[in-house]
Amino acid sequence: MAYYNENTVLWLDGSIIKAAEAKTDLYGQSLHYGYAVFEGIRSYRTAAGDTKIFKAVEHYDRLQRSAAAMNMPFDYSTTELIAATYDVLAKNKLQDAYIRPVVYAPANMSFNLNTESYTAIQAWEMAPFLGDKLLRVMTSSFQRPNPKGFKIEAKASGHYVNSILASQEAKGKGFDEALLTDMNGHVAEGPGANVFFEKNGKLFTPATGNILPGITRATVLEICHELDIPIEEGQYSTRDLLQADAAFFCGTAAEVIGWHSLDDKPFGKPFPDTLSRRIQLTYKDKVIEKQTELATI
């Protein structure tokens, strides 16, 4: 996939520069040690024809918290970064886009603190709502990083080595995606999405603590409350999931995407007949069609 061409621009610490001319330091601490934080954000073209970012404040606030959790200097306000993002979208003529802000470290082969960091905002086209295909999911042999070893609530680049290993393993075995457990063997999340499952008219999702608390997960919880769908946050085994009526992943890129099967075992109900499908359709209606969750700034 081509993320940029010779006309693409990105935002780097206050300047708009050509993506093809942007440079990074091969001696950087982020490249060598995975010491960086980032976000994944979506924008949508609205019914009125303009461009709006989904939950921009929540994403940039999380970026700031991630940087703080990693002891990285971070000099921007959420408002400034949102304005910069709209600028990147407009200059690249993007509407339905995926936005990737990243905060990274200077050249530093030691483990010492840095006095500065760099912030870049990149964006590329991404069509909305990829969610109609059902996923064949595999329980990964990899577990999520132990929260006693990492600040798992932060969206830190290094954590994604674990995601890459799990996703590559699943795809290598002919599945669409992986499901990872936490260090206690409880269901945790996908490599880049949170997980929900459904049983007897009730929804379940792993509690926070050992997962990235997703902004889409929070939106799905809001939808459950609005639709009066009972929801429980707790600790679940893969056996609970294997006995479920349905399951889905949710995340900024994935939006809400149903599962066909886990470890080749199909779920109890056809997906179109489930509350999970209703949640998927409500998410689509709210976010993409009615755009009620989109940023007002």
Give the residues lining the site for ligand PMP (CB under 6 A).
Answer: 40, 189, 192-194, 212, 214-217, 251-252
**Whether residue 155 lies in the annotated active site:** yes
Q: How far from 125 is each of 53, 131, 295, CA to CA, in Å? A: 13, 17, 19
In terms of residues, how long is the chain? Answer: 297
Whose Cβ is closer to ligand PMP: residue 9's or residue 178's?
178
- Bridge pairing between strands 246-251 and 255-262: antiparallel
Category of 185 on φ-ψ map: left (φ > 0), alpha (ψ -120 to 50) or beta: left
Minimum distance of ligand PMP from residue 293's CB (angstroms): 12
Whose Cβ is closer to ligand PMP: residue 26's or residue 127's?
127
Is the distance from CB of 63 to CB of 155 less than 8 angstroms?
yes
Minimum distance of ligand PMP from residue 125's CB (angstroms): 18
CA of residue 59 relative to chain centroid, distance: 10
Minimum distance of ligand PMP from residue 110's CB (angstroms): 28
Cα(18)–Cα(292) distance, integer angstroms: 33
Whose Cβ is closer to ligand PMP: residue 106's or residue 150's?
150
Whose Cβ is closer to ligand PMP: residue 86's or residue 150's?
150
Minimum distance of ligand PMP from residue 36's CB (angstroms): 14
Minimum distance of ligand PMP from residue 273's CB (angstroms): 26
Choosing from 52, 55, 155, 199, the catalytic residue is 155
Nearest residue (beta carbon) to ligand PMP: 214
Is the distance from CB of 105 to CB of 72 less than 8 angstroms?
yes
Category of 270 on φ-ψ map: left (φ > 0), alpha (ψ -120 to 50) or beta: beta
* DSSP category for residue 112: S
Whose Cβ is closer to ligand PMP: residue 155's or residue 199's?
155
Q: List residues with catalytic annotation.
A: 155
